[in-house]
Amino acid sequence: MSRRTAALFAWSFWALSVALVPVGFAFGVLALSASLPPGREPILPLIAVVDVLLLAYGTVGVLIASRRPGNAIGWIFCAVGLALAVASAASGYADYALYGNGDALPVPELAAWLGVWLNILVLLVAPCLLFLLFPNGRPPSARWRPAVWLVAAIGAGVFFTLAFSPGELDEYTYPGLPNPLGIGGAVGDALSVVESAGNGVLPIAILLSISSTIVRFRRSSSRERLQLKWVAYTAALTAASFLFSFVLPEPVPQAIQDAVFFLGVGAFAAIPIAAGIAMLKHRLYDIDSIVNRTLVYGALTASLAMVYFGGVVVFQTLFRALAGGGSQLAIVVSTLAIAALFNPFRRRLQALVDRRFYRRKYDAQTTLAAFGARLRDETDLDTLGDDLVRVVVETVQPAHASLWLRQAGQGSDGAGENVGSAVS
């Protein structure tokens, strides 16, 4: 797949995920007045949390997949974002159709079915795959490939047992609602056996995934360690939280179990943040230029749009007050204002983004500008040499820097003078 085709697919997934956000949120708002089963809370807060998660995962995923289409990490992030978007919209739709005033809406049971298994599958399987494959899309070595296949098998088992097991769909979210696609008989008994086996193997897969991250971290170089550091922290917190919630005995109060589980969800939410820090601060995947342009031109578009529509409204109001009616001149004046403000806005936003997110680049530019100003007025050669070496050390940050000037009248192998030197 070419980079252009991969970018088209990735941005299409992101656009679909974003488009589903208001759908789930709208149904969640409509379901606030629904008569929920006893003990059930409104689903709107959960939808809001899931929407934040899907935007974080989808955005990081599209940046990686469009830049590095051969890396599985970007596509996993994209898949998580899209799955969460579908689950959010399906959950809101199901709540409104089942318990609200949406009696005429079709197949609410299927929407509830879709939301249940998508949410659980993403929470349990996606972190294991991300920790096993981050950051290059491959396990640490060939010995870890069985762990990847184990996680894939667990994912398939989770899907089949959640999607087709007979009985209640979800006793907490949809109490009393039978699984609309549940299969009984011998197949249902087999799915129960698979579910029991999967519950026993899942902790092993979580331990293997966190172990692979630790192994990769220990084998990495200094720069790779900086890229992996935050991901390793989130991996440890996610694995510890989910494992602890699995092994808690039954008498433990439900509030404690929920707190531990939501701690794991919080760690799961921190995974794209950790990946974003690795990309922005430690140049993982070398996509900082894309992120830079996205931040600058995204903010520029939003600012100019606000100026344009605000200008149209203001000028139309003035023309109505002065001439008693609107005028197309307001649109012309606003368009000219946008054309005049484009470059100044872009320069200011670029400086703001560089200063806030790319401090090293901003400091280097500031140092070079200051050196250029001094260069116009300085005439002493020794001072200029010392300043030049200092600027190189501050901007390029080499292990050692020195300046050698050939004396006048000497050949290429003639004697020279070491004007300035420094060690960073």
User: Tens digit of pLDDT for each residue in 201-227?
Assistant: 877 888 888 888 888 888 877 767 777
Q: Which of 113-127, 162-176, 396-410 has the lowest mean pLDDT?
A: 396-410
**154: its two tokens:** 């667990």
- Give the residue-averaged pLDDT of 25-53: 83
Record the tokens describing residue 201, joined without a space: 């193997």
CA distances to 106, 125, 174, 278 from 167, in Å = 22, 23, 12, 44
Beta-strand pair 174-178/401-406: unpaired
The larger pLDDT score, comparing residue 329 to residue 416, is at 329
Contact 179, 165 (CB under 8 A): yes
What is the average pLDDT across 144-168?
Answer: 85
How does residue 368 score in pLDDT terms, banded at 50, 70 and 90?
low
Six token digits for residue 276: 């974003």
**Which pair of tokens denotes residue 349?**
């936003």
Q: How far apart are CA 349 and CA 355, in angstroms?
A: 10
**Is pTM beyond 0.75 here?**
no
d(CA 109, CA 98): 8
Highest mean predicted confidence (pLDDT) among 131-135, 287-291, 324-328, 329-333:
131-135
Sketch out the chain's domains with CATH numbers. 3-285 (1.20.1070), 293-357 (no CATH), 362-422 (no CATH)
Give me the pLDDT at residue 424, please. 44
State yes or no: pLDDT of 416 exceeds 70. Answer: no
Is the Cβ–Cβ distance between 71 and 60 less than 8 Å? no
Under a CB-based contact definition with an 8 Å cutoff, are residues 382 and 420 in contact? Answer: yes
Extract the tokens encoding 295: 């931040």
Token pair of 200 as six digits? 């026993």
* Tokens encoding 421: 């030197």
Computed over every residue of the chain, the mean pLDDT equals 77
